[in-house]
Structure 1
Amino acid sequence: MIKLHPSYAQLERYVEGSCNAGEGLIVSAHLDMCLQCRSKVTEMENSLADKMLANQVPLDPAYAEMCRKIVELPAEIGGTPALHQTLELDGRQFTLPRALRRYASQINGWSHMVGKLWQARVDLGIDGRADFIYMEKGGSVPEHTHRGSELTLVLDGEFSDGLRDYDTGDFILCDGRHTHMPHTDADEGCLVFSIVDQPLHFTSGLARLLNPFSHLFFK
């Protein structure tokens, strides 16, 4: 059950087309998974349309461009989606929300990180970095905080981080106010999609030795 959703302000920026590319992508992917937020966005879009018609407000160019790209997304042909629906790792297949399907064939393989972590970077052409991250059962990310912000969408499975528990579809925003250590004990592990705009800052254990060099791993 999805418990964590984008804020009203984030949904409003999405509808207005004023959010940055990374935020817009993760919000869009969450909407693919969350009926509750899709209903809110529909109401907000209808309200914005009524306001524009009533006041003859010109359509924001960024919003118009976003609408154009949505309309031009490949359609399903012969019952088979034109985009890759799944992401594969070590024989396992994960169904992706529509907004992320175009990136399934663009990743340059999976990299095995420390412990039971796997990472596949996605080039979004933005400042920052985006990754699919898979934690096997018993896997964890070393304790850290954030120099900037981190947006995460849980795509499959569940994990905890010492702050709360997260499940499939949850939308998570972390920044310098949060210190956490994501880990999963779920038999199926956990797959997330994450976008960070600054390197992580590790706060405990040997991982702290990486902090002076974190900008190198961020490139």
Structure 2
Amino acid sequence: MINFHPTSTQLQRFAEGNLPPSEALVVSAHCDMCTQCMAVVKAASEKVAAEALSKVSNDPSLDAILANIVQQPVAERPSISVPSIDTIELDGREFKVPRALRRYVRKTGNWSSLVGKLWQAPVDLGDMGMANFIYMEKGGRVPEHTHKGSEYTLVINGEFSDGIADYDSGDFISLDGEHTHAPMSDADEGCLVFSIVDKPLHFTSGLARLLNPFSHLFFK
């Protein structure tokens, strides 16, 4: 059951097209998994479109512009078939990813083992930077840390806890430097998340603090 959603402000700004691209990507992927937020965004988008149309409906130049458009010849488009990839694989297991993330499956790097029972696959987002698919096996844990910037995370499959809350598939998580947490999964199937951070993590507990000079090499 999905319990954690973007705020109403985030959903409104997403509908208006005013969210930063990386944040908008995670919000969009959450909406693919959450009918409640999808309905909110659909209603907000329709309202934005109606307001925009009302502003131009009285513009005398609009009729001329539309007439010019419909008089243009229709260009023939070549038929292009692009295979759809909607899953990622780890050790023979396949995970279905939300629609908004499918175009990045081909841009996902190889899985690599991190500390404990953690696996990470980097995702090239182009101008938006880098993201990661992170898989926690049962008993896997990310050392306690806080954030120098922002972190947006979507739970794609499974469950995990972090000392702040318990999360399930579809949950949207937004954290910053005011939060300290230690994600871990006790679920038999483990947990797969998609995460974007704009600055390296800062580990806060035990020997993990020795990783701080190198955190930009892993969780980035």
TM range (shorter): 0.7 to 0.9
Deviation at 1:8, TM superposition (A): 1.3
**Which secondary structure does the structure 1 equivalent of 2:126 belong to?**
coil
Provide structure 1 residue ranges, at least 5 long, that are not aligned to the other structure.
59-76
Matching of residues 160-179 of structure 1 within 5 Å: 160-179=161-180
Aligned residues: 198
CA contact (8 A) 2:137 2:185 kept: yes
Q: What is aligned with 1:50?
A: 50
Letter in 1 for 2:23: E
Give the Å deviation of 1:136.
Answer: 0.1
SS at match of 2:100: helix
Structure 1 215/118 Cα, relative in aligned 2: closer, same or farther at 3 Å? closer
In the TM superposition, what is the alpha-carbon distance from 1:54 to its structure 2 partner? 2.0
Cα distance in 2 for residues equivalent to 1:46 and 1:56 = 16
Structure 2 residue aligned with 1:156: 157
In structure 2, relative to structure 1, the CA distance for the partners of 1:200 and 1:127 (3 Å cut) is farther
Q: What is the deviation of 1:19?
A: 1.3
> Could you tell me how far apart the structure 2 residues matched to 1:216 and 1:93 are?
26
> Match of 2:106, SS?
coil
Query: CA separation of 1:127/1:214 partners in 2, compared to 1, >3 Å: closer, same or farther?
Result: farther
Which residue matches 1:133? 134
Identify the residue that residue 107 of structure 2 maps to in structure 1: 106
Q: What fraction of aligned residue pairs are identical, expressed as a percent?
A: 63
Structure 2: gaps (5+ residues): 60-80
CA distance in 1, matches of 2:25, 2:84: 16
Letter in 1 for 2:193: V
Q: Which structure would you say has the larger Rg? A: 2
RMSD: 1.9
CA distance in structure 2 between the aligned counterparts of 1:189 and 1:143, rounded to whole angstroms? 19
Normalising by structure 2, we get a TM-score of: 0.85
The range that moved more, 136-145 or 96-105, is 96-105
- What does residue range 1-219 of structure 1 map to in structure 2 within 5 Å? 1-56=1-56, 82-126=83-127, 128-217=129-218
With the length of structure 1 as denominator, give the TM-score of the two structures. 0.85
**d(CA) in 1 for partners of 2:94, 2:215:** 31
